[in-house]
Amino acid sequence: GIQVEQSPPDLILQEGANSTLRCNFSDSVNNLQWFHQNPWGQLINLFYIPSGTKQNGRLSATTVATERYSLLYISSSQTTDSGVYFCAVHTGNQFYFGTGTSLTVIP
Amino acid sequence: DTEVTQTPKHLVMGMTNKKSLKCEQHMGHRAMYWYKQKAKKPPELMFVYSYEKLSINESVPSRFSPECPNSSLLNLHLHALQPEDSALYLCASSHVPGAEAFFGQGTRLTVV
């Protein structure tokens, strides 16, 4: 099956810092989503991005499908950004999650 | 409205119990999914329902039995579970299979 690897696995930032999270996938995909899982387990949709770049406030995402990767940028990080970030790739009728990046933002 | 509602939020059950998890959406989505997530791991796909029919079963043990009574509702029936089945169970839906998915808050299950 498709392999989806995220890096780094863990990241600690000072509040106000910027960061880039990466998602690599091993095969062609139909689409890709980025999620933020909060400490209570809720998965929050960030981006649905098959290709190109999208921006939403302090967050932006870029997917380069031909090179099988996606990037999530977080600027001016806040403590509320803490949690686990997952990418999920869509193939056929299902989608599979990456390994996740655990982000901690300290004040 | 992109709400997927899961009940209960927490469940503790014995190994001989029978219980059910419920997932509901009113967005007109025709694909619904069950995922299982262990601590510090990504969610793992269990089942996919497409137009109320089971389309994918990721080799899940028969002690987990999914049911889709109508296009808005998805159940997961649990019977004779093991302590290692304790996990966060997440439900999701999408407009059609493979489209953008939206998740419920999850049911945190503990098997004792």
Q: How close A87 comes to chain B (CA, Å)?
A: 10
User: In this complex, how many residue pairs, one in chain A and one in chain B, have their CB atoms less than 8 Å apart?
Assistant: 58
Tell if the CB–CB gap between A93 and B98 is shorter than 8 Å: yes
CB A76 within 8 A of CB A13: no
CB neighbourhood size of A57 (10 A): 7
Tell if the CB–CB gap between B100 and A97 is shorter than 8 Å: no
pLDDT beneath 50: ranges in chain B: none
Tell if the CB–CB gap between B98 and A94 is shorter than 8 Å: yes
Tell me if residue B84 falls in helix, strand or coil. Answer: helix
> E strands of B26-106, at which residues?
31-37, 44-50, 53-57, 64-70, 73-79, 87-94, 101-103
Tell if the CB–CB gap between B45 and A30 is shorter than 8 Å: no
Tell if the CB–CB gap between A94 and B45 is shorter than 8 Å: yes
Please state the rounded mean pLDDT for residues A29-38: 95
Question: What pLDDT does residue A93 have?
Answer: 78
The two three-digit tokens of residue A39, written as one number: 């400490």
Among A41, A95, A99, the residue with its CB nearest the CB of B101 is A95
Is 80 exceeded by the pLDDT of residue A30?
yes
Question: What pLDDT does residue A92 have?
Answer: 81
Question: What pLDDT does residue B1 have?
Answer: 60
Q: How close B88 comes to chain A (CA, Å)?
A: 8
Tell if the CB–CB gap between A94 and B37 is shorter than 8 Å: no
What does the mean pLDDT of chain A come to?
96
Cα(B63)–Cα(A75) distance, rounded to whole angstroms? Answer: 45
Question: What pLDDT does residue A59 have?
Answer: 98
The two three-digit tokens of residue B108, written as one number: 């945190």
Cα(B31)–Cα(B49) distance, rounded to whole angstroms? Answer: 5
Is 90 exceeded by the pLDDT of residue A1?
no
Question: What pLDDT does residue A94 have?
Answer: 83
Is 70 exceeded by the pLDDT of residue A58?
yes
Q: How close A107 comes to chain B (CA, Å)?
A: 23
Cα(B16)–Cα(B74) distance, rounded to whole angstroms? Answer: 23
**Cα dihedral across residues A58, A12, B108, B78: positive or negative:** positive
- Strands A83-91, A94-97: pairing is antiparallel
Please state the rounded mean pLDDT for residues A61-67: 96
Question: What pLDDT does residue B2 have?
Answer: 67
Q: What percent of chain A has pLDDT over 70?
A: 100
